[in-house]
Amino acid sequence: MFHDTKPAHLSDDGEIDPWAPFRVANPVELNSLLRQVRDASAPVILATSHGTAVTCTLWAIDATQGRLSWSADGGQPQMQALIDADEAAAVCYLESVKLQFDLEDFVLVRSLQSMALQSSMPRDLYRFQRRQSFRVRPGGRNAPSVTLRHPSMPDMTLALRVLDLSVGGCALLLPPDVPELRPGVTLHGVEVQLDSETSFVTALQIQHVSSMQLPEGSHRLGCQWQQLGTPAERLLQRYVNQTQKRHRLLSLS
């Protein structure tokens, strides 16, 4: 959905931000993500609106002063252009997650032995799940479900529970009293109910069928989304992001 190194276009014109569900503004969660970037020595692309791009790594976080320190090659010809621009969009990856945030107030700090680029702390950041990502496992009474017609028995309507899902696909629980479904079959007109207010219709292709760690006679259908339009993909992105955010906040509490 997003280019690997190119920042996504995020609305700054005062209108409703369609990416607001992916924004992380909680200071505890924001600092935790920045520490992960630092500890992983993840390459970060700093890109200005004029097309200048500099690669660096985050090596120090000063939350008290609200400053970040970046290891960077001061000899890079793009470095002066970055400092002159005084603002840039930062993009990096933590495994299957893309982070993007804005930075300002660049200063190149020199010493006898080293050189560092400093910037202000971001006020917030955006956290996007990459398309091929690990899956979230929803729980509770309002877990997602799908409704479809059995491909070989059109008069039979199935309501199947979603075991896990990502923006690439989902796993469904097939009860023991339902006629089998085979890998390679495409299921059309599938209504996906993420929660009481969020649903969309799409197609699913069954990739594999297994019965491990399930009640006797039940099967797990590993499926891939088909014909998934941008609105549905955005709903999935938001659902996965919100589910992971709840899990992260619970782990921090």
What is the pLDDT at residue 108?
A: 86
The 3-state DSSP class for residue 184 equals: coil
Is 13 within a domain? no
> What CATH number is associated with residue 195?
2.40.10.220
Query: Of 53, 72, 70, 48, whose CA–CA distance to 61 is shortest?
Result: 70
Is 224 within a domain? yes
Same domain for 150 and 215?
Answer: yes
The 3-state DSSP class for residue 59 equals: strand
Is 192 within a domain? yes
- Mean residue pLDDT of the chain comes to 83
**Which residues share a beta bridge with 221?**
172, 209
Same domain for 25 and 122?
Answer: yes
How wide is the angle at C-alpha 193 spanned by C-alphas 189 and 194, nearest 5°? 135
> What CATH number is associated with residue 115?
2.30.110.10
What is this structure's pTM?
0.53
Q: Residue 239: which domain range?
A: 145-252
**Could you give the CA distance from residue 92 to residue 43 in angstroms, rounded to a whole number?**
6
Amino acid at the residue 123 = R
Is 2 within a domain? no
Domain boundary among 75, 96, 129: 129
Is 10 within a domain? no
Domain boundary among 104, 129, 154: 129
**Could you give the CA distance from residue 148 to residue 139 in angstroms, rounded to a whole number?**
21
Q: What is the pLDDT of residues 101-128, one digit of tens each?
A: 999 999 988 776 667 899 999 999 998 8
DSSP state of 249: H
Query: Of 150, 219, 161, whose CA–CA distance to 188 is shortest?
Result: 150
DSSP state of 3: -
Range in 14-23, 167-176, 237-246 the model is least confident about? 14-23
More confident residue, 159 or 142: 159
Q: What is the pLDDT of residues 8-61, one digit of tens each?
A: 555 555 555 667 778 888 999 999 999 999 998 888 989 888 888 888 899 999
Structural domains of the chain, count? 2
What is the pLDDT at residue 9?
A: 55
Q: Helices 230-252 & 27-40, crossing angle to 10 degrees? A: 90
Q: For the purposes of burial, counting CB atoms within 10 Å of the CB of 236, is it exposed (0-12), middle (13-18) or buried (19 or more)?
A: buried
Full strand arrangement of the beta sheet holding 125-129: 23-24, 125-129, 97-104, 87-94, 44-47, 53-62, 67-71, 115-120, 107-110
Domain boundary among 70, 95, 129: 129
Same domain for 170 and 243?
Answer: yes
Same domain for 115 and 150?
Answer: no
Is 47 within a domain? yes
How wide is the angle at C-alpha 156 spanned by C-alphas 182 and 166, nearest 5°? 50
Amino acid at the residue 18 = P
**Could you give the CA distance from residue 101 to residue 204 in angstroms, rounded to a whole number?**
34
Same domain for 27 and 125?
Answer: yes
Task: Report long-range pairs for 101-104 (Cβ below 8 Å, ≥24 apart).
Answer: 101/125, 101/126, 103/46, 103/68
